[in-house]
Amino acid sequence: MFRRMKRPAWLLALTAAALLRAADPAPDPLEQRVAALIAGPQVTVVHFWAPWCPNCRAEMDPAAGWAKFIGANPDVQVVFLNIWHKGQSPAPRLAEAGLGAQPNLLLLNHPNGSRLEETRLNAFLGQPLTWIPTTWIYREGRLRVAFNYGEIRFAILQQMVDDARSEWKH
């Protein structure tokens, strides 16, 4: 009798596992798009920001901020990913900063604009997101440098991009 009871329990466990696997969420198309970009041979900078964020706004000075950096590095693909935005359009801030027309700049909005810790975007490309602005530098699909907390210093960003351009022999 015990042996007969084991078989239905085993079948039930297999069925539950199959259902759980089928319930896995589909890959995020936005994440797939960025993953395809960073897989290329060029250096790619992925910058997470929001229009309401004071530190993000501090980086937007057209004379010394992102517009200048992007213009000085035409071989570097830069992705601005608007997160935790509460539905706020980034267009006015980007226009004030002189951003949008650069051919090496891709502007993206994450569909989850929540700022609440329990519902907001907390990871991207397998990396945790705990603060904005956050800036990651990739080359050939590998994360080379991560600035995970606060306002970027552009001289440091330039040095890290220059380092990412060089060949690594590790």
Q: 12 in a domain, yes or no?
A: no
Distance, in Å, from the CA atom of 78 to the CA atom of 67, rounded to the nearest integer, reads: 11
- pLDDT band of residue 54 (cuts 50, 70, 90) is very high
- When pLDDT is cut at 50, 70 and 90, the band that residue 7 belongs to is low
Cα 158 to Cα 43, 66, 69, 78: the distances in Å are 12, 11, 8, 13
Whether residue 38 lies inside any domain: the answer is: yes
* Residue 117, pLDDT score: 87
Task: Please tell me the predicted confidence (pLDDT) of residue 159.
Answer: 97
Give yes or no for residue 112 having a pLDDT over 60: yes
* Residue from 36, 48, 45, 47 nearest 162 by CA: 45
Q: How many structural domains comprise the chain?
A: 1
| Predicted confidence (pLDDT) per residue in 75-96, tens digit | 999 999 999 999 999 999 999 9
By residue range, what is the domain housing residue 157? 27-165
DSSP notation for 97-114: TT-S--TTEEEEE-S---
DSSP code, position 81? E
* Domain assignment present for 11: no
Residue 14 has pLDDT above 50, yes or no: no
Residue 124: inside a domain: yes
* CA–CA distance, 129 with 97 (Å, rounded to integer): 24
Q: In this predicted structure, what is the pLDDT of residue 138?
A: 97
H helices, E strands: number in the chain:
6, 7
Judge whether 125 lies within some domain.
yes
- Domain-embedded: residue 20: no
